[in-house]
Amino acid sequence: MSLEETVNERVSYLKERIDPNNRPVENLTFKLQIDVLHNADRERVALLILQKKQLENAITIRESDACIDK
């Protein structure tokens, strides 16, 4: 699933959660989350996700190497 699809899915979910029976602060929170998702720099987010995955892979490799060296 692409970042764009993930964001769109999350926005749809948040829109579904907005309900007149909710407390106003709950609906405001959902709306703020939607605004943040719409205004996020998607290229920057994609880069951060890639960097996190690379870091996780490096840690896994380092742990694997440490087990082999024992």
**Domain-wise residue ranges, the chain:** 3-69
Tell me the whole-structure pTM to 2 decimals. 0.65
Backbone angles phi and psi of 23, in degrees to 5: -70, 145
Establish how many alpha carbons lie within 13 A of residue 66's alpha carbon, considering only the half-sphere containing its beta carbon.
Answer: 6
**pLDDT tens digits for 11-70?**
999 999 999 999 999 999 999 999 999 998 888 888 988 999 999 999 888 888 777 766
Residue 38 and residue 30 in contact, taking contact as beta carbons nearer than 8 Å: no
Yes or no: say if 11 and 40 are a contact pair by the CB < 8 Å rule. no
